[in-house]
Amino acid sequence: MKNLSCLLVVFLIGISDVSAQELRCNISISSSKIQGANRNVFRTMQADLYEFMNNRKWTDHVYDIDERIECNIFIQLDEQVSSDEFKGSMTVQLRRPVYGASYETTLLNIKDKDFHVRYVEFQPMEFNETSNSDNLTSLMAYYAYIILGMDYDSFAPEGGTEYFQKAQQIVNNSQNSIYEGWKAYESERNRYWLIENILNRSYSGFRQCIYRYHRLGLDKMGDRLEEGRSEIAESLRLLQRLFRNRPNLYIFPIFFDAKADELVNIFSGSYPDEKNRVLAILNEIDPSNGTKYEKIKEDNTFNLNNE
């Protein structure tokens, strides 16, 4: 009987290795600004959030271990409001491998300044899909679906719609929440407006850009450098047309916070006409990074296997 039990454990471990969850999410929590607190609480919180993000099944798809989506979440705790209530910020980063290369591109690099949650050590973390009964799990689930949606959009035209809709449902469920970040009137740059911009059909050029930039652009650059780079340049025209109609959309800083440095690397190895066209687009729709984009005028070769 003992040998049979051992075999069963090995079998179950083997199954878990074959069918992995979707995310490989690294969680970091900094609590250095909170003095006199029990540090074990923050270590337990980090472990619980890691398990919540990585061991929950977020889709109906089957992933291998090496297919899991790489992402990072950094939580900066600034204030302990009460024994189980914390405020701070949360940075979410998403990376995606480029086909046929060792290079990984950043898809998302977003800072959420409205991290305000309750956390009770050793209490089970339960996410309710029909209401915001726990702001911490609702917030984490929201970004899990944003991560999935962005990743799927980069591989297929509007491939992430199902997951963006799930993120939108969390926003809808949170309209009566006492916590900030979920409502339209609170800010022009929060969770409400992020998902509203992504799913708004009038702004579909953004999602078209995500697909064209990554699947038709970066994924081709390993074998067909100039063709892939040209597709990326054309993807920026989609953003330019959108910008001329709605210049203040939240999705613009979201895109360029992730892509500004990469765009410099990609187009500094281009030919003069393409450099000038891309520079004109970037200076129009992302003037805050204008000094950075001046480096495109330099001549540097972008190597997907050495970045």
Burial class (CB in 10 A: 0-12, 13-18, 19+), 213: buried
Q: Per the structure, how many domains does the chain have?
A: 2
**What would the mean pLDDT of 70-98 be, rounded to a whole number?**
96
With b meaning 16 or more CB within 10 Å and e meaning fewer, what string describes 219-234?
bbbbeebeebbbbbbe
Q: Are 37 and 29 in contact (CB under 8 A)?
A: no
Same structural domain, 28 and 98: yes
In this structure, are residues 250 and 194 in contact, taking their beta carbons and an 8 Å threshold? yes
139 and 244 assigned to the same domain = no
Its domain, for residue 181, covers 19-199
Evaluate whether residue 4 is within a structural domain: no
Examine the domain organization and report whether 138 and 159 are in the same domain: yes
Asked whether residue 177 falls in the same domain as residue 52, the answer is yes
pLDDT tens, residue by residue, 269-299: 999 999 999 999 999 999 999 999 999 998 8
* Whether the Cβ atoms of residue 263 and residue 277 lie closer than 8 Å to each other: no
- For residue 48, tell me if it sits in a domain: yes
pLDDT of 39 reads: 83
More confidently predicted of 297 and 12: 297
At 154-209, the pLDDT tens digits run: 999 999 999 999 999 999 999 999 999 999 999 999 999 999 999 999 999 999 99
Evaluate if residue 5 carries a pLDDT over 50.
no
Same domain, 262 and 285: yes
CA 231 remoteness from chain centre:
22
Task: Please check whether residue 305 lies inside any domain of the structure.
Answer: no
Query: Are 129 and 272 within one domain?
Result: no
Q: Is the pLDDT score of 14 beyond 70?
A: no
The predicted pLDDT at position 13 comes to 37
The greatest distance separating any two alpha carbons of the chain, rounded to the nearest whole angstrom, comes to 75
Q: Are residues 147 and 215 in the same domain?
A: no
Is 70 exceeded by the pLDDT of residue 306?
no
Distance CA 216, CA 212 (A): 5
Q: Which of 139, 164, 199 is the last residue of a domain?
A: 199
Helix or strand holding residue 79 (H, E): strand 69-82
| Mean pLDDT confidence for 69-78 | 97
**Lowest-confidence range among 27-41, 82-96, 128-142, 249-263?**
27-41
The verdict on 270 and 135 lying in the same domain is: no
Whether residues 57 and 135 fall in one domain: yes
In this prediction, residue 302 carries a pLDDT of 80
Rounded to 5 degrees, φ, ψ at 101 are -145, 165
124 and 97 together in one domain: yes
Asked if residue 35 belongs to a domain, the reply is: yes
Q: Are residues 185 and 212 in the same domain?
A: no
Q: Indicate the average pLDDT of the chain.
A: 92
pLDDT per residue over 232-269, tens digit each? 999 999 999 999 999 999 999 999 999 999 999 999 99
Q: Quick one: which of 267, 265, 175, 249 has its CA closest to 207?
A: 249
What does the pLDDT look like over 19-38, one tens digit per residue? Answer: 578 999 999 999 999 987 78
